[in-house]
Amino acid sequence: MSELRADGFPEEAVRERARGGAATAFPDPGEYGRVLFGADPTESAGAAADLLDRLRLVPPIFVPHRLERLIDLAREPMYRDVELETMVGGFRSTLPIYLSAFGSTRATSGDRGLAVSRQAGRLGIPMVVGENVMPVKGYGRIEDHAEQSMLGRISTYATHALDGYGGVAIQQSTEDADAEVWNLVYSDPNVQSLLESGRLAFELKVGQGAKPGLGGMTVLDPSTAARLTDAFIMDPVFGGRGDAVLRCGSPGTFTDEILRQQIRLMRNNFPQARVWVKLPPARDVREAALVAWEAGADAVTVDGAEGGTGWAPVAFLAHVGLPLGECLRRLGEAREPSQHRGGEARAPDRHRGDRPSCLLVSGRMWEGARVAKSLALGADAVGLGRAALIAVDTDAENGLVNLVGCLSLELQMLTSALGKYHVGLLAREDVWSPDEPVHPVPHSSSTESVRS
C-alpha cells in the first residue's frame, strides 16, 4: 500500500497517533519529572489570546505622587525609594510575590523542593505546598525519604524563614482530604511556630491552570502505582511505554453553595489558619471568586492557562482555559476599582465584612513587566512557578534569591517610571491596550494608606 500525503495537514501527528494510540494524547512519559509543562506562548491560540503580552505600561507626564515623595524625603525620589512590602493572603511579605503550588512530581520534589523552601523562607515571601505531596511522598515523620515529604518542605521553610515575614499555604485536593492532610498539619507540634505566628494557610484546590476541569495527574512507576492503587485511579494508557502508569485524581464537585460550605468548614475547623481558595482559569472564575471572598476567604489564587507545571494532555496545555490576562479582566469587573492597595490598609471596596478580597495570580511570571501589568490589572501579588524551579535548578543556594532580586529591581524601576512609590498604587491607568483601550480611573494623591 502506497503512503498517502496530506499537504497542509498535521500528517506526522496523525501518523504518531495511528502508531501509538491513546498514549499519544499525552507528552512523552519519559520526559515526566524532567520537563516543566504549561502553555507555550509560541502556540498561535495562546499568543493571540494573551492580553498581558499585548499591554504596554505607560508612564504619565504629571506625577503628583512623586512630588509627595519628594517632600517626604526632602530630595528627588529614585527607583530604590519604591516600597515593595505588602500583604499576601494575610501574610506579611517583603514584596508582592509568592511561590506557586508545587506538587509531587520528580521535577518539583527532592532537592529542588527543599531548595525552593529554603530560599523562599530567606526571602520572606509565602510558599504554597501543592496537592498530593502527602499521598505520594508521605507526611514525613518516619519515612525513609522524609526530606522530600510534606513536613520536610514545611520544616525547611520554617527553619530559614525571615522573622515576621512569609508563610506556608498547604493545598488540599479531593484525595488529600481523604488523607486528612489539614488535620495532620494543624495538630503537628512541628508546625506550631508557623501557626502561632499567623503564618499558616490552608488552600482549597478547586482547579488549576494546567488542566482546568481535570483532577491531578502524575506519571508513576509500576511499584508506586501498585502501592497507591486504593487511593487513586490508575490508567495503563501508556501500555508499558516508558515503564509508566498514569495516576488520575478526581477534580472534585463544586457548586456555589458547596464552595461556601467548604470555606465555612475551614474557618470553623481551623480558626488560626488563613483560608485560601485555588481557582482554575474557568469561564465563571468571576462568580466563583465572589463566592469565595463573600464566604470569608483570605485569598483567591488563580492560575491562567499559562500557569502550572503539572502533567496534562497536550490538548489541555494548548487549548483549554482562559489566559491570565482575560482572567484579570473578568476578576477586575468583580472588584470595583480602589484608590489604594498594598500594606496593611486597603480601600473599603476591597473588603467583604472585615476581610480584604486578596487576589493572587500566576502564569509565566519571570520578569518585572508581566508582574507590574498583573498588579495594575488588580492582582495583589503574583506567583512564581516554572521560573522558581529553573532558578533553583541553576543554583540550589542562591538561584531563586538572585531571580527575585532581579524582579525586585525591575519592579521598582517600572513603578517609579509610572510616578508611584508603592507597588500597591499600580492601577489600570498605568496600562494601555491596542485592542481595547483601558480608561483611566481617578486616583487619590495620598499614599499614606498603602505604606507598610
| Domain co-membership, 147 together with 227 | no
Please tell me the predicted confidence (pLDDT) of residue 436.
66
Number of domains in the chain: 2
Please tell me the predicted confidence (pLDDT) of residue 371.
95
Flag whether pLDDT at 108 surpasses 70: no
- Domain annotation covers residue 193: yes
- Measured at the CA of 323, the angle between CA 44 and CA 422, to 5 degrees, comes to 125
Flag whether pLDDT at 189 surpasses 50: yes
Of 426 and 220, the one with more pLDDT: 426
Q: At what angle do helices 324-334 and 285-294 cross, to 10 degrees?
A: 50
- Domain annotation covers residue 31: no
Please tell me the predicted confidence (pLDDT) of residue 451.
38
- Domain annotation covers residue 171: yes
Average pLDDT estimate for 226-253: 78
Cα separation, 136 vs 351, whole angstroms: 38
Average pLDDT estimate for 379-384: 96
Average pLDDT estimate for 106-117: 74
| Domain co-membership, 190 together with 204 | yes
Last residue of a domain, one of 250, 273, 300: 250
CATH code where residue 77 lies: 3.20.20.70
Please tell me the predicted confidence (pLDDT) of residue 430.
97
| Domain co-membership, 68 together with 132 | yes
Of 416 and 109, the one with more pLDDT: 416
Last residue of a domain, one of 225, 250, 275: 250
- Rg of the chain over Cα atoms, rounded to whole angstroms, equals 22
Q: Residue 317 region, left (φ>0) first, then alpha (ψ -120 to 50), else beta?
A: alpha
- Domain annotation covers residue 341: yes
| Domain co-membership, 157 together with 230 | no
Average pLDDT estimate for 59-63: 97
CA 67 to the chain's CA centroid? 35
Mean pLDDT of the residues in the chain: 81
Cα separation, 401 vs 124, whole angstroms: 10
Flag whether pLDDT at 105 surpasses 60: no
Q: Fill in the amino acid letter for 77.
A: P
| Domain co-membership, 270 together with 415 | yes
| Domain co-membership, 325 together with 226 | no
Flag whether pLDDT at 23 surpasses 80: no
| Domain co-membership, 196 together with 121 | yes
- Domain annotation covers residue 191: yes
12 burial via Cβ count (<10 Å: 0-12, 13-18, 19+): exposed
- Domain annotation covers residue 228: yes
C-alpha cell at 423: 507597588
Please tell me the predicted confidence (pLDDT) of residue 437.
53
C-alpha cell at 191: 508546625
Please tell me the predicted confidence (pLDDT) of residue 384.
92
| Domain co-membership, 209 together with 232 | no
- Measured at the CA of 110, the angle between CA 106 and CA 112, to 5 degrees, comes to 90
| Domain co-membership, 345 together with 281 | yes
> Long-range contacts of range 55-58, CB-CB < 8 Å, 24 or more positions apart?
55/325, 55/373, 55/431, 55/432, 55/433, 56/431, 56/432, 56/433, 56/434, 57/369, 57/372, 57/373, 57/376, 57/414, 57/417, 57/418, 57/430, 57/431, 58/418, 58/430, 58/431, 58/432
Per-residue pLDDT tens for 341-354? Answer: 444 433 333 333 34
Q: At what angle do helices 110-123 and 399-417 cross, to 10 degrees?
A: 40
Flag whether pLDDT at 337 surpasses 50: no
| Domain co-membership, 174 together with 239 | no
> Which stretches does DSSP call E strand in 19-174?
56-57, 86-88, 91-93, 97-102, 127-129, 168-172
| Domain co-membership, 226 together with 348 | no
- Domain annotation covers residue 370: yes
CA 413 to the chain's CA centroid? 24
Flag whether pLDDT at 219 surpasses 90: no
Flag whether pLDDT at 52 surpasses 70: yes
Confidence of residue 131 (pLDDT cuts 50, 70, 90): confident
CA 6, 11, 17, 19: dihedral to nearest 10 degrees? 80
Please tell me the predicted confidence (pLDDT) of residue 4.
61
Pairing label, strands 200-205, 274-279: parallel
Per-residue pLDDT tens for 269-308? Answer: 999 999 999 999 999 999 999 999 999 999 999 998 887 6
Do residues 421 and 415 touch, judged by C-beta distance below 8 A?
yes
| Domain co-membership, 240 together with 302 | no
The region of weakest confidence among 21-30, 60-69, 112-121, 371-380 is 21-30
Average pLDDT estimate for 400-411: 92
Flag whether pLDDT at 58 surpasses 90: yes
Please tell me the predicted confidence (pLDDT) of residue 364.
87
Question: What domain range is 230 assigned to?
Answer: 217-250
